[in-house]
Structure 1
């Protein structure tokens, strides 16, 4: 099986299906039929924006960076990028794929609206922050000064206000 495909499949299972499902369970499996129309519209918009940003980032990473996003705690699941990306979605922040996932998960939080789901989200952010810091060490080794400059001019997850 193609390593790229495995990386994409793992991302889908973990971030698009798995974490929202854990959030749902942590919320006590609420009845989603009771969500009002306005909340559903907000949830759908955040899902489209978040998943759209993540997909754009993945496509950009494949086409420009020559690699795949799934690199877990310094274990190469799929081929790593061979070019530093600072434009396109990577001009927004250093981790636009995760920003997209977080936007999507905020939509899930709005749908579920529970402390349990919020705790899952906070734990996800903490774990991903550790993962990203490990990834940044590797990127510094791979791209040196160019990556150092990119770090100075961008934020890890949020867009930089100029």
Structure 2
């Protein structure tokens, strides 16, 4: 990873894990409409949910860097990191096709539970809409173009875009 990629990851992390949570805390303090029972349960559930989400964000980025030889800080024509030169279908990408987005949503949902303000639920909902648009109109067309056969096989094997499907028996 070169210095430019490192800066892109630092910037992305600052936005996703400092700026957005700060907005959520601000909303929670100024609009305190509880949606869970007040107490330790919401904090514990929130901490677990956020920890699982953060784990998926880190794991999926690690796989993109190590196996895909690229990064995740790309939004259409804006490429803050090198694009992957290999389709990553292992690790978290064998569970769902966008585990990083899933992880971010889980992280934000965990914060919503810990903050316990109904208005904060807007953030993960908006992020999920954003992630859906990015996946459908930017990521998937690029992957279909660059890795046509591998992508088609992957979609057949892992049809879930964001949420892992429980394996049968």
TM-score by length of 2: 0.85
Q: Distance in 2 between matches of 1:6 and 1:131?
A: 22
**Would the aligned equivalents of 2:143 and 2:151 in 1 still touch at CA under 8 Å?**
yes
Q: Distance in 2 between matches of 1:63 and 1:130?
A: 26
Aligned match of 1:141: 145
Aligned match of 2:81: 78
Give deviations 1:14-67, integer Å, cap 9, x for gaps: 211222222222334478xxx622222222222221111111111111111101
Aligned match of 2:130: 127
Gaps of 5+ in 1: none
List, as ranges, runs of 4+ consecutive aligned residues in structure 1 with deviation greater than 6 Å: none
Aligned match of 1:114: 117
**Would the aligned equivalents of 1:30 and 1:112 in 2 still touch at CA under 8 Å?**
no
| Most deviating of 21-30 and 91-100 | 21-30
Residue 139 of structure 1 deviates from its aligned partner by 0.9
TM-score by length of 1: 0.88
Gaps of 5+ in 2: 33-37
| Most deviating of 55-64 and 9-18 | 9-18
Q: CA RMSD in A?
A: 1.9
> Is residue 99 of structure 1 aligned with residue 102 of structure 2?
yes
| Most deviating of 36-45 and 143-152 | 36-45
> Is residue 25 of structure 1 aligned with residue 16 of structure 2?
no
> Is residue 66 of structure 1 aligned with residue 69 of structure 2?
yes
Residue 92 of structure 1 deviates from its aligned partner by 1.1
Q: Alignment partner for residue 40 of structure 1, among 20, 39, 43?
A: 43
Q: Distance in 1 between matches of 2:41 and 2:28?
A: 20
Q: For the structure 1 residues 29 and 5, does the alpha-carbon distance in structure 2 shift closer, same or farther, using more than 3 Å as the test? A: farther
Q: Distance in 1 between matches of 2:141 and 2:27?
A: 33
**Would the aligned equivalents of 2:96 and 2:161 in 1 still touch at CA under 8 Å?**
yes
**Would the aligned equivalents of 1:24 and 1:30 in 2 still touch at CA under 8 Å?**
no
Residue 145 of structure 1 deviates from its aligned partner by 1.7
> Is residue 159 of structure 1 aligned with residue 168 of structure 2?
no
